[in-house]
């Protein structure tokens, strides 16, 4: 292997730049030429490809977003799109590709891999919802962004003795809502992986008021329902007034935390090693505190449930 | 004057705790007994009043919200409510009252003042919309909260080459939107004090794209329209796709900035001096870099326009 | 078991409050009475012990430091001190003790355990240097504090094209320096676990300048030498001018990160379970992504080396 | 005037990039060609001058440091250096120069101005120590950096019931120490503009302990003495143990606050207007809440004392 390329795809996540930097420098350290593909698979098809040197990834480890930009690319789901992408890579003598993104992006990597091109995926999404790895880049930064918002909202909640609903990202995965809810001392946390009972939520709110709590904060993952929908249910079922805060896009941005920068560095470097070792159709990830690689096919099955007891603990601690 | 009391009223704002601390300690320094009234004018009517010593306001200068809690109190707009409030104060021998809040809260102070009770207002609201003072406590902290959100959103906007709309607080006053927009490098800023032209906004967006800008950010004060309404107009008029972020309640909270803590300290202390000097029906504030006091009646007139040219400058700088 | 107590000991670490909260509420959830001991083992000897209810640990999860205060207590190393501590506990009918702190604090727990009193340790120290657990509370927060400082210093380093030395905490353990150095993009990282070669450091600095780097940042753990000592060596050996920043005590404080809050919640709750299960002389911790418990005696042996390759990776990425 | 240039000089300060951006875009808006000079007056002598367009200052408003880099340049104090700088400017047809920096940098601007070249100074230094303006760029950001550090140190100070000394920047000016001390709730603040009395400091410390304060924080501006020197005096005079934190270079860096970004935008734009109006040898600044310009000669006289009573207030509030 002499030449490899890197792209970022799907929703951006803090730590993507750190992973790009690590892949570029690790590649150069191993004697490879490294290319950056701009705008994800769309840019691959369009040939937006440039060589990167060690200096071109300087001063980016601390930046949110992705310097290679990203996009969603329906065209790459077609055989024609994939063939054109392959042509662009082979034309330049590129022999391996690092794809940083979520599971949608991994499908593109898998497609190329099945066409005989060496591909490795790096999990980058704030949702922490990729099967096979304990961690996806961006989760830790998003977690701290959400907590910072909850801490601010608590000031007002306490001062006005009000109940707030905070809607956080997470269509299929409740990790962000659950961790943020535990860390923010939320009264109730609604996540897609667990059924919720509006009566129990109401009873917990009343219990809190009963023991003199000055405020209550409910966290709801967008995959369960919107914050406004929950507010409506509480109003209708028990005449409880709430305020709603929809955190939205601020959850994707910001300078990555130390953990995201370090794990991104490990993941990006490991991805290059994996290509050099001749593997393809694999993802890097973390399992049991160690960086590992495993077949991409493992990603495309239903997600495991949450088994670590944190949801149950959250109820015991928010009395 | 031997005994004074303090309350916070209306929406909470960062710096209120610092103002409470300053008023309490300045009062004690001047030999007064100082009382805290909990839950604003509602608590005044209900007699939720306790004496505060120097230690009871320790370790609060860095906290958002208000340790005295706040509320909106329609009852205090009635003569009966005011009479009951007055009774509660006189029963305890309290002779002066510091009211920290926005212009709604100042009306309560004015009412008591007209009934012969010494009252002074301290401007505390993130909107910076109180006539007669260049500054209201909380504005600087809210400004930095909004900027932090814009900086995060810009990461995603750049990575995906998208246009974002950020809706910020400000029903009648555009200061927060304007300052945040200038500080965040926004392409267009919509504020209640200035007419806006959807065609100009569109033309500026296209100009930016034309010169290679990777992202665009529009700021809209809630008093102009909602972020979603603006998104609808851009879609309809020019088929421009945007994403909307409604910052909401996070703008009220958070640890106050240095400026808010220092000005709150000055304002709180000056309010006590004003009472000792025998004044009533006045507000403290800042004009021309100095702490001043002026009649509350000045507050209840139409707000001045924005005359410092910052809005015009924002257009010149966002090319 | 009907009554348990909690204390914090040694240097404070962010997340201690979250662990206290979890232990108190888990205990109450399990039907126990829970007591807080103020000022660590010193306070235990002096009988500074008070019962805590669910509300007494409200609104602390986001606070740095420890609400139970801490101290170092030479007296508790003596048999007399331990006997008096034991007497204070038994006098109140307390049957189990949670000790939150570093390995020094764990020796106190071990001593009580050997005297027949049920004790469990919770690892709380920013140094991440406790044998047997992959994580100690406070490390993640301290990491982000150091990174924030490095990011600030880099602004000046770049603007003035200077070399900066940043001295971080870590007498025996280099984790904080290593992680912060990788996350901060440092040119060289000096840690106690690895020998350093001043000539290699100099050669790396010159290499960086050669390829056009505008600034260089060196990280040194205090256990290797002081920042000023390193500056002296670079000046003497190669006439290289540097600026030194000693981060000092800011590394211990601050609102805990999400990770520290969540792991503290898990650790604190698990510690109570461990006591209820009848175990003693154990510590809780994290291994392979799971919360575990293990004998305290494992803690008091020489620390494992660093085997995950991060130090080696740091050299490859800082080209 | 058709062509102008911009340089930054002396110690870097947050907001310099925002001022550069404003000057460049305001210049372009007014139909000028704008040049950037790299590395301050040193770069001017060496001819490191490049034209800047609107895009070249994109995405910098939020960055600390200065994209034009800075340096101290003894050579520019000589007639030869100044002549060479002048030659470089005239060779390119540049007719006006914006100098962003502290009073040392303003002397360079004044020298060129006396040689007949149009120069305007923009005050950029975290010390807030330039005569004639109420504000210098960077002060607000530095203030919040110091406060953030104090808030962290207080966690440990409280947990261990200790006294901390925090040494902050400020050789001749105590503004940063004073504002940070008031905002951080410091027990005593030592600044160059006021005499200090070690006995009074000791007595205040004892008073605080007497009324149950759990911690004490002393702030000392480096211009008074070092933190370690103060620690020595307290130890010797009263056997008081303290811990010292020297904040150092982190005070210069970081993303500028909203206030620094907005005022930098105003200052940078105004500087260009001043050149267009045909003025020279002036500085822009803020007085009484308005952006003004005034002769540079006013800067080079002894600084006014502090007359706003904040120092005296700090003593009354830290009881």
Q: How is chain B split into domains, by residue range?
A: 3-138+256-299, 139-252
User: D102: annotated binding-site residue?
Assistant: yes
For D162, name the nearest residue in chain C, comparing CA atoms only: C71
Q: To which CATH superfamily is domain D139-252 assigned?
A: Phosphofructokinase domain (3.40.50.460)
DSSP state of C257: P
Binding residues of A are 11, 21-25, 72-73, 102-105, 125-127, 154, 162, 169-171, 185-187, 211, 213-215, 222, 243, 249-252
Interface contact A257, partner C, CB < 8 A = yes
Tokens read off for D235 = 């130890």
Q: Which residue has the tokens 């706003």?
A: D308
Percentage of chain C with pLDDT > 70? 98
3-state secondary structure of C261: helix
Position D210 pLDDT exceeds 90: no
Termini Cα distance of chain B: 58
**Residues B138-149, mean pLDDT to the nearest whole number:** 98
- Quick one: which of B14, D240, B19, B15 has its CA closest to B6? B19
Cross-chain CB nearest to B262 (options D183, D290, D319): D183
**Of the candidates D207, D176, D208, D203, which has an alpha carbon nearest to the alpha carbon of residue D190?**
D176
**A160, A214, A249 ranked by CB distance to B245: nearest:** A249
Question: Percent helix, strand, coil in chain A (nearest 5)?
Answer: 45, 20, 35
D62 shares contact with chain C (CB less than 8 Å): no
Q: How far apart are CA D278 and CA C281, in angstroms?
A: 81
Which residues are registered as beta bridge partners of B165? B218, B244
User: Which parts of A83-172 are beta strand (E)?
Assistant: 96-101, 118-123, 163-168
Residue C307: the pLDDT is: 66
Q: How far apart are CA C257 and CA A258, in angstroms?
A: 11
| D289 vs B18, B151, B289: nearest CB | B289
- Compute chain A's Rg from CA coordinates: 22
> For residue B234, what is the DSSP state?
H
How many contacts (CB atoms, under 8 Å) link A and B? 111
Considering only CB atoms, A160 lies closest to which of B70, B154, B161, namely B70
Between B62, B258, B288, which is nearest D288 by CB?
A: B288
Nearest to C295 by CA among C130, C136, C90: C130
CA distance A55 to C156: 19
Distance from the Cα of D132 to chain B's closest Cα (Å) equals: 14
Q: Is there a contact between C261 and A158 if contact means CB atoms under 8 Å apart?
A: no
Backbone torsion region of residue C282, taken as left when φ is above 0, otherwise alpha when ψ lies between -120 and 50, otherwise beta: beta
**Contact list, D253 vs chain C (CB under 8 Å):** 151-156
Contacts of D169 in chain C (CB under 8 A): none
Give yes or no for a contact between B106 and B283, defined as CB atoms under 8 angstroms apart: yes
Which of D12, D127, D175, D260 is catalytic? The answer is D127
Is A127 annotated as catalytic? yes
Q: How confident is the model at residue D304 (pLDDT cuts 50, 70, 90)?
A: low
**CA torsion sign, B299 to B304 to B309 to B313?**
positive
Judging by beta carbons within 10 Å of its beta carbon (0-12, 13-18, 19+), is residue C94 exposed, middle or buried?
A: buried
Two structure tokens written together for C190: 């000096």
Q: Is D154 annotated as a binding residue?
A: yes
C141: annotated binding-site residue?
Answer: no
Under an 8 A CB cutoff, do B55 and D134 touch? no
Query: How deeply is B133 buried, as exposed, middle or buried, from its count of CB atoms within 10 A (0-12, 13-18, 19+)?
Result: buried
Nearest to A1 by CA among A38, A41, A25, A34: A34
Q: Tell whether B137 is within 8 A of chain D (Cβ).
A: no
The set of catalytic residues of C is 127
Three-state DSSP state, D83: helix
| The pLDDT of residue B308 | 78
Say whether residue C255 is in contact with chain A using an 8 A CB cutoff. yes
B253–A154: do the CB atoms touch at under 8 Å? yes
Q: What share of chain D is helix, strand, coil (3-state, %, to 5)?
A: 45, 20, 35
Which residue of D12, D152, D243 is in closest CB contact with C155?
D12
- D23 in a known ligand binding site: yes
**Is C149 labelled a binding residue?**
no
C284-310 pLDDT, tens digit each: 999 988 999 999 999 987 666 666 789
- Chain D residues in contact with B61 by the CB 8 A cut-off are 183-185
What region, left, alpha or beta, does residue C10 occupy, with left being phi > 0 and alpha being psi -120 to 50 degrees?
left
* Residue C127 labelled as part of a binding site: yes
Contact residues for D282 (Cβ-Cβ < 8 A; gap 6+): D120, D121, D274, D293, D294, D295, D296
Query: What residues of chain B, 261 to 290, have a C-beta less than 8 Å from chain D?
Result: 261-262, 265-266, 269, 287-290
Q: Residue C36 in contact with residue C50, Cβ under 8 Å?
A: yes
Q: Are A39 and A48 in contact (CB under 8 A)?
A: yes
Residue C45, classed as helix, strand or coil, is helix
pLDDT tens across B196-226, in order? 999 999 999 998 888 778 789 999 999 999 9
* Average pLDDT over chain A, rounded to an integer: 94
User: Do the domains B139-252 and B3-138+256-299 match in fold?
Assistant: yes
Q: Give the model's pLDDT for residue A210.
A: 82
**Complete edge-to-edge strand list for the sheet that includes strand C33-37:** C49-52, C33-37, C3-8, C96-101, C118-123, C282-287, C290-295
Interface-testing mutation among C48, C144, C156, C222, with chain D (most D C-beta atoms within 10 A): C156
Rounded to two decimals, the ipTM of the complex is 0.95
Q: Which residues of B touch A250 (CB under 8 A)?
A: 149, 152-153, 245, 247
pLDDT of residue C211: 78
Calculate mean pLDDT across residues C62-80: 95
CATH of domain D3-138+256-299: 3.40.50.450
State the pLDDT at residue C304.
62
State pLDDT tens for residues A23-75.
Answer: 999 999 999 999 999 999 999 999 999 999 999 999 999 999 999 999 889 99
Beta-carbon count within 10 A of B194 CB: 14
pLDDT tens for each residue of D40-65 = 999 999 999 999 999 999 999 999 99
Q: What is the pLDDT of residue C300?
A: 85
Which residue of chain B is at minimal alpha-carbon distance from A68? B159
pLDDT digit string (tens) for D253-296? 999 999 999 999 999 999 999 999 999 999 999 998 889 999 99
Please tell me whether residue D140 adopts helix, strand or coil conformation: helix
Exposure on the CB side of residue B262, measured as CA atoms within 13 A: 24
Q: Which chains touch C (3 or more CB pairs under 8 A)?
A: A, D
Q: What does the mean pLDDT of chain C come to?
A: 94
The CA distance from D212 to D197, in Å, is 23
| Residue whose token pair is 């510690």 | C271
pLDDT in tens, chain A (319 residues): 999 999 999 999 999 999 999 999 999 999 999 999 999 999 999 999 999 999 999 999 999 999 999 988 999 999 999 999 999 999 999 999 999 999 999 999 999 999 999 999 999 999 999 999 999 999 999 999 999 999 999 999 989 989 999 999 999 999 999 999 999 999 999 999 999 999 999 999 998 888 778 789 999 999 999 999 999 999 999 999 999 999 999 999 999 999 999 999 999 999 999 999 999 999 999 998 889 999 999 998 766 666 678 999 998 888 7
Q: For residues A278 and D57, what is the distance between their CA atoms, to the nearest angstrom? A: 44
User: Which strands sit side by side in the sheet containing D188-190, from one edge to the other?
Assistant: D188-190, D216-221, D163-168, D243-246
Q: Which residue has the tokens 């001390």?
A: D181
> Which of B177, B50, B72 minimizes the C-alpha distance to B126?
B177
The pair of structure tokens assigned to C237 is: 């050996």
CA torsion sign for A100, A102, A103, A104 is: negative
């Amino acid at each position: 292997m002499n030449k490899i390329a890197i792209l970022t795809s799907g929703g951006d996540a803090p730590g993507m730049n750190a992973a790009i930097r690590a892949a570029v420098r690790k590649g150069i350290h191993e004697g490879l030429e490294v290319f950056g593909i701009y705008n994800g698979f769309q840019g691959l098809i369009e040939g937006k490809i440039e060589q990167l040197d060690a200096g071109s990834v300087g001063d980016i480890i601390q930046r949110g977003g992705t310097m290679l930009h990203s996009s969603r690319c329906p065209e790459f789901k077609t055989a024609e799109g994939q063939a054109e992408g392959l042509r662009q890579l082979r034309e330049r003598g590129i022999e391996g590709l690092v794809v940083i993104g979520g599971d949608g992006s991994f499908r593109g990597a898998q497609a190329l891999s099945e066409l005989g091109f060496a591909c490795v995926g790096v999990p980058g999404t704030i949702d922490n919802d990729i099967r096979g790895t304990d961690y996806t880049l961006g989760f830790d930064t998003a977690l701290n962004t959400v907590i910072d918002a909850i801490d601010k909202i608590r000031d007002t909640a306490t001062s006005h003795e009000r109940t707030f609903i905070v809607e956080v990202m997470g269509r299929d995965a409740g990790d962000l809502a659950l961790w943020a809810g535990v860390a923010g001392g939320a009264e109730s946390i609604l996540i897609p992986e667990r059924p919720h009972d509006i009566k129990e939520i109401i009873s917990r709110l009343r219990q809190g008021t009963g023991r003199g709590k000055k405020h209550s904060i409910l966290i709801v993952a967008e995959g369960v329902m919107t914050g406004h929908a929950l507010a409506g249910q509480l109003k209708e079922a028990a005449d409880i007034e709430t305020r709603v805060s929809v955190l939205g896009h601020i959850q994707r941005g910001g300078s990555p935390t130390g953990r995201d920068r370090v794990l991104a560095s490990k993941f990006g470097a490991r991805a290059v090693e994996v290509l050099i070792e001749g593997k393809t159709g694999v993802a890097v990830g973390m399992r049991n505190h160690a960086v590992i690689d495993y077949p991409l096919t493992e990603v495309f099955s239903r997600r495991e449930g949450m088994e670590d007891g944190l949801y149950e603990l959250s109820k015991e601690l928010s009395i």
